[in-house]
Amino acid sequence: MPRVKLQRFTDNATRPDIIEPGKPEYQQLGGRWRTDFFREPHPLTLEVGCGKGEYTVGLAQRHPGRNFLGLDIKGERIWRGSSRAAEIGLTNVGFVRMRAEDLAAQFGPGELSEIWITFPDPRPRDRDIKRRLTSPRFLGLYEQLLIPGGLLHLKTDNEDLFEYTLEILAARLGTTIERVTRDLYAETASEFIEAQAIQTNFEGKYRSVGVPIKYVQFRLT
């Protein structure tokens, strides 16, 4: 393992804003994130597949009266998000290293107010459908962890994943699609401002070559 990566893993083990396997708090904070992890018991928003934490940190900057968690399986990625949050001096943001499949072991029912899914792996092969983060399996999991009527957002550059998601949402009883666009940055209505306000490096690369960003905001109940 490269020395730099090893040092970052060592850093993660000592950082209080990172929860990961091996730490005593791992899978022990369900139902108590707002009171035992954050300094203020504000509403809790989760970004699933946060990568380098650009979106999680950006949301925390924009909304100091809310708490934010970024989830990713890659320790080096969340090290970057943690470092950026510390550099800015944010206290309303944290990171969890784990797989999305294990969300129910980390959070309690109705603990989340909002979920962002930003540029997930589209999982194009049919055998990977259940691993798509907007599959019925994951939507059921999100519904369990969200407060009644909690918000969900998907941003993606992938047309196939976006169409798949819209089909799944249309077929799911009780689901309400509130905002949807196939070209987010062509929208001028104020209702899209929040989704336009933060742009990751990954997102910028796609926009620079003319790939439109798709976005949908919805509620499951």
Round to whole Å and give the CA distance between 126 and 165: 14
Q: What is the mean pLDDT of the chain?
A: 95
Which pair of tokens denotes residue 105?
């072991």
Residues of each annotated binding site for S-adenosyl-L-methionine: 47, 72, 121
Q: Has residue 5 got a pLDDT over 90?
A: no
* pLDDT band per the 50, 70, 90 thresholds, residue 221: confident
What is the arithmetic mean of pLDDT over 9-18?
Answer: 92
Domains, the chain, in order of start with CATH, read 3-219 (3.40.50.150)
Residues of each annotated binding site for substrate: 157, 200-203
121 belongs to the catalytic site: yes
* pLDDT band per the 50, 70, 90 thresholds, residue 126: confident
Residues 6+ apart with CB under 8 A from 140: none
Q: Has residue 168 got a pLDDT over 70?
A: yes
Out of 11, 17, 36, 121, pick the active-site residue: 121
Q: How confident is the model at residue 1, as a pLDDT?
A: 63
What is the arithmetic mean of pLDDT over 118-131?
Answer: 92
Round to whole Å and give the CA distance between 91 and 94: 8
